[in-house]
Amino acid sequence: MTTETSPVRIHWNLHSLSWSIIRKRRVIGHAPSLVLAGCVMRASEAGRLRCQAAARREVVATIEGIIADGARPDDAIRIGYRPSQSGFRRRDTDEIVVAASAVWFEPDGTAWALAPIPSPETCQ
């Protein structure tokens, strides 16, 4: 497996105000914006509760995928993570999202998903 196609994890870095790129549990760089394809949202509920109990911040939510390129389409949906709620959520419907075909990470700290897949628990 080459490094160009190995998966990375992305999270918003509050100190550098950029996206941190992690491969094999090591930060390999920062970027103001980037695109991932074949994305899976990972959020630790135990980590979220630990942060709330200790009133501190730590990285407990990342999006994993393959670095890609391309312009964000008009039908991309804004998603995000809030420590006060479990899981990544659509900003328009507040529905929990577990995966997407692609995610665009913008310089202002927003993330936009193409074809977000809802959590099976929230589907009725």
Dump pLDDT digits (tens) for 21-68: 999 999 999 999 999 999 999 988 887 787 778 877 778 789 999 999
Query: Six-digit token pair at 17?
Result: 């105000």
Would you list the domain boundaries of the chain? 8-118
pLDDT on residue 3: 46
Cα–Cα distance list, 91 to 2, 101, 110 (Å): 35, 17, 10
Residue at 115: amino acid letter: A
Dump pLDDT digits (tens) for 71-111: 999 999 999 998 888 889 999 999 999 999 999 999 999 99
Task: With a cut of 50, say whether residue 2 has pLDDT above it.
Answer: no
Query: Which stretches of the chain are assigned E, i.e. beta strand?
Result: 8-13, 18-23, 26-31, 34-43, 61-68, 77-81, 88-90, 96-105, 111-114, 117-118
pTM of the full structure? 0.87
Contact 113, 97 (CB under 8 A): yes
Query: Can you tell me the distance from the alpha carbon of 123 to that of 98, in angstroms, rounded to the nearest whole number?
Result: 12
